[in-house]
Structure 1
Amino acid sequence: MSKQGASNMIDGDSKMPGDGREESSLGSIAERSEREVGRKQGIVWRNVILMALLHSGAVYSLFLIPKAHLFTLIWAYLCFLVTALGVTAGAHRLWSHRSYKAKLPLRIFLAAANSMAFQNDIFEWCRDHRVHHKHSETDADPHNAGRGFFFAHIGWLFVRKHRDVIEKGRKLDFSDLLEDPVVSFQRTHYKASVVLMCFVIPTLVPWYFWGESLWNSYFLASILRYTVSLNVSWLVNSAAHMYGNRPYDKNINPRQNTLVSIGAIGEGFHNYHHTFPFDYSASELGLKFNPTTWFIDFMYLLGLVTERKHAPREMIQARKERTGDRSS
């Protein structure tokens, strides 16, 4: 029990009968009991076992690095970048927040990259993410950081969704997602696209083009790359919600976390992003390490991106002065 919960119960026991506060105390206890019942989520043992096997395979992969061809390691990193863009530029900034518009060829590339990421199809990823923004750090948040680092990082995948996540999610509109034929196609053919993009292509390229063994290709370009990309993405939910400063809004949990930004190619400016979720850059524009923004800007120069949204400088400064923690 939390200190706050214990304090409430002690206060309730000390109140005099008939003073009008007993009902309030009983109501608080009932609410806490309701939350505890809601959090008794069944364990999804399949996910626990699969993640244990995946991470064991990733640890084994580390011992293969000295034996691998240099091109295989470079290829694995390139696959990691494509994987990351499928989440950051695709599922996150394009489809979840509609922070810019992308033409069909780019949407197809981002959907394929998202299948390489293997973090649920675009529709499911965006559905959970919109609920996360709407109800951040509550039981309706799929990866509620208020329940601790482990839960926010990976534990939320080990249990069935809290009923509040499902109930609150039903109240949001996701029709725009399924109106995109690229999203619908990926959702329909998701399993096949994941097998192809996440495992087959990363494994076959090193074997076919420079004679790498299928064993090394599979464990380094598929298993290790996939495991690292998952954990980097999860750090946005965990570390970036718990560690760092809050120059834009000190009243919310998300933080500015430089290390997460480096790993997640620009997604660690999280206090900014939750304050201005419509901004395609997910950070203040400038010389900041944000490869996802650089990618979107490059696509804009090629004519594949239009209508990039960003927060005006005056709006940002006013918000920092009003609600920021004065850290920058």
Structure 2
Amino acid sequence: MPPLKIEDETMPVVASTVEEKKTAQNEPKKEYKMEIVWTNLIIHTVLHATALYGLTVEIWRSQWYTLLFAFVLGWFSNLGITAGAHRLWSHKAYSAKLPLRIFLAIIASLSCQNSIYIWCRDHRVHHKFTETDGDPHNAKRGFFFSHVGWLIVKKHPEVIEKGAKLDYSDMLNDPVVKFQHKYYYPMILVISFILPTLIPWYFWNESIWNAYIVSCITRLVLTLNITWCVNSVAHIWGSHPYDESIDPAQNVAVSFFALGEGWHNYHHVFPFDYRASEFRWLVNPTTQFIDLMYLVGQAYNLKYMTDESIKSKAAKAGDGSIHSRFHKTH
């Protein structure tokens, strides 16, 4: 294992303390009436209906090159979120040199999950005020809301108020984030729609229609739902070996599809750990990618939790589901 920078539990991170969480949960409830954002609802409805058509009809008419191409695009678009927007920019769990930051910004644009700045802003608020009214995708409001509903209704006023209090200066000072935020819509148009349609058509004579439906829409909707499962599935189902008092859980199925992001109980307890898990090699491709970038000199200042601190936290607050056979030197 490369020589990593070790941090301890005292490191300030974008996460709520026990006292802050209790305060947020006990604050008087602000008046709130759920309002649908009809434009977003229509967009997501059309996207999902088209993806269903793609899954049931167009994939059988497409060349296997196109299916493989769509899979690769989906994998890298997820990586842009997991290694980029999430672990690098939201949590500063490691540092990256300019070429890697540019690459991650490009593939994050494949995912069409808002600009990096907006994605990270919402994610930091989520960690700071998890499962309170200040949480953008509060799982206490139900599976559908935490999965996709939060994107088709107006934000709770607590989300706006709490979010305004956090510091985002590090992202605003990153020229890559600023550029991607400023040119977000032209970038996703070219990177996520035009190129994925033209490449299969030009290089292996796929029809424009098949390329568009499979490589763009179906791929996009599947990857969106994979990411959303971290907010919904991994906040409802799974074990709590590190802290049984919080809802985020260890979910191996989510980790499998979301490139290692389903070890969610660990991640919410130790959000600055670049591995987002105790285990670097257990269903965690994002961590392996970051390790590779470290070896080629593009990633540095990798942060992780010590074994002793992990075991101590699990013994004090966990549900006892952790297996001692996994406690090995990393």
TM-score by length of 1: 0.89
Task: Give the length in aligned residue pairs.
Answer: 295
Determine helix, strand or coil for the equivalent of 1:310: strand
CA distance in 1, matches of 2:188, 2:68: 21
1:325 aligns with 2:319: yes
Indicate the SS of the match to 2:303: coil
Is the contact between residue 280 and residue 287 of structure 2 (CA under 8 Å) also seen in structure 1?
no
Partner of 1:57: 50
Q: Post-superposition shift, 1:41?
A: 2.7
User: What SS does structure 1 have at the residue aligned with 2:304?
Assistant: coil
Query: Distance between the aligned counterparts of 1:183 and 1:286, measured in 2?
Result: 27
Aligned pair partner of 2:190 in 189, 192, 196: 196
1:68 corresponds, among 62, 65, 71, to 62
Paired residues for 1:15-34 under 5 Å: 31=28, 34=29
Write the distance in 2 (CA, Å) between the matches of 1:178 and 1:51.
29
Q: Is the 8 A contact 2:51 2:213 kept in 1?
A: yes
Instruction: Look up the SS of the partner of 2:166 in the other structure.
Output: coil
Q: Which has the higher helix share?
A: 1
- For 1:240 and 1:180, the matched residues in 2 are separated by 30
- 3-state SS of paired residue (1:48): helix
- What is the aligned counterpart of 1:237 among 231, 236, 245? 231
Q: How far apart, CA to CA, are the structure 1 residues paired with 2:99 and 2:197? A: 25
Counterpart residue number, 1:46: 39
- Residue 64 of structure 1, CA deviation: 1.0
Separation in structure 2 between the aligned mates of residue 193 and residue 215 of structure 1, nearest angstrom? 21
Equivalent-residue separation in structure 2 for 1:164 and 1:236 (angstroms): 22
Letter in 1 for 2:59: I
Q: More relative contact order in 1 or in 2 (CA 8 Å, sep 6+)?
A: 2
Shift of residue 65, structure 1, vs aligned partner: 1.1
Distance in 2, Cα, partners of 1:314 & 1:243: 27
CA–CA distance in structure 2, aligned partners of residues 302 and 214 of structure 1 = 38
Decide which of 70, 79, 82 is 1:85's aligned counterpart: 79
Contact 2:261 2:276 in 1 (8 A): yes
Query: Residues 234-313 of structure 1 correspond to what in structure 2 (within 5 A)?
Result: 234-313=228-307
Distance 2:288 2:203 in 1: 30
2:144: which partner in 1?
A: 150
Q: CA deviation at 1:307?
A: 0.8
Percent sequence identity is 54
- Structure 1 moving runs of 4+ over 6 Å: none
CA distance in 2, matches of 1:138, 1:47: 23
Mark the runs of 5 or more structure 2 residues left unpaired by the alignment. Answer: 1-26, 323-330
| Aligned residue runs from structure 1 range 172-183, under 5 A | 172-183=166-177
Larger radius of gyration: 1
Q: Note the C-alpha offset of 1:198.
A: 1.0
Distance 1:113 1:178 in 2: 20
Matched position secondary structure for 2:39: helix
| TM-score, length basis structure 2 | 0.88
Which runs of structure 2 are paired with 1:195-234 in the superposition (5 Å)? Answer: 195-234=189-228
**What amino acid sits opposite 2:288 in the alignment?**
W
Cα distance in structure 1, aligned partners of 2:125 and 2:264: 16
Deviation at 1:157, TM superposition (A): 0.8
- List aligned pairs for 1:100-111, cutoff 5 A: 100-111=94-105
Distance 2:266 2:284 in 1: 13
Specify the alignment match of 1:7 in structure 2: none
Once superposed, what is the RMSD of the aligned Cα atoms? 1.0
State the 1:286 CA deviation: 4.1
Residue matched to 1:17: none
Q: SS of 1:78's equivalent?
A: helix
